[in-house]
Amino acid sequence: MPPEVDPLDLVGVEPDERLLAEDLAQLPATVGQPESLPESQARRRLVAIGATLTGVTLVGGVALIVVGLIAAVVGGLGIGAIAAMVLGTVLVSTHWGWVHVAELSANSLEGRRHASLIERRREWLRGIEPYTRWEVTTTANHDGSITIVTTRYRPARAGERTYTFVRQEIAREVHPADEPAAAVTERAELLRRQAAADTGRERERYEAARDAYENALLAQGDEQERLAALRAASEALSERINSNLRDPPLTE
């Protein structure tokens, strides 16, 4: 499990695009779901072709190595035997490349075909902010009991400039079937209010840090504009002085 990270350290960091795919289940239900990216027939065909070529390349490479070894044993280590073993080794060592080629080709094809949808998905992703969230869910069990689960979704580093989330169950309560429904409901609502309060506290803490960061960027931008204006004025003055030096004014 990734180490704990203070969400304030993630201010200005982008959400990782894995949250649109394999890490999507790590997000809390409150953030919603992105639009689904339809898988086209062309993509399935390309992936199938890549898998087929991977298998053929692997089998062919092994076969060439075996043929080369047999030829070397029977007729000596000649050019043909060496060439067969070298070619077989190359095919075996690179057979997974077809999978990556097919995946890249499929991604490129879908990127062109669904460009607007992909941009909307990325815009949705950019709207997720890296603060810890808590959620409480209930499940009815086959014996009539009710399970109340509290889950924490904490941000974690995914890369140098990206973050993801880690889903962690932090509490589980099982209430028997004979417990009064009102008591179970009250307990669940109490936990939900606590989860909402904890989430709100973390959101406010993160938003304060984010606002301070954005104000610092604006101030830095204003300072850069001021320095740029000063440089422009100095360059204009320098040019005027140099012009006078090149063409000194006439004297009476």
Token pair listed for 118: 């992909």
**Does the structure show a pLDDT above 60 at 251?**
no
Pairwise CA distance, residues 230 & 233, whole Å:
5
The per-residue pLDDT for 84 is: 74
Q: 26's torsion region: left (phi>0), alpha (psi -120 to 50) or beta?
A: alpha
The verdict on residue 87 lying in a domain is yes
CB 153 within 8 A of CB 24: no
Pairwise CA distance, residues 109 & 125, whole Å:
22
pLDDT in tens, 11-21: 888 999 899 88
Q: Which helix (H) or strand (E) holds 126?
A: helix 115-126
**Does the structure show a pLDDT above 90 at 222?**
no
pLDDT in tens, 151-209: 999 999 988 889 999 999 999 999 999 999 999 999 999 999 999 999 999 999 888 88
The verdict on residue 106 lying in a domain is yes
The verdict on residue 51 lying in a domain is yes
Range of the domain at 90: 41-112
Q: Number of folded domains in the chain?
A: 1
| Section 33-39 average pLDDT | 77
The verdict on residue 68 lying in a domain is yes
The per-residue pLDDT for 51 is: 76
The verdict on residue 84 lying in a domain is yes
Q: How confident is the model at residue 27 (pLDDT cuts 50, 70, 90)?
A: very high
Token pair listed for 58: 């692997």
Pairwise CA distance, residues 73 & 80, whole Å:
12
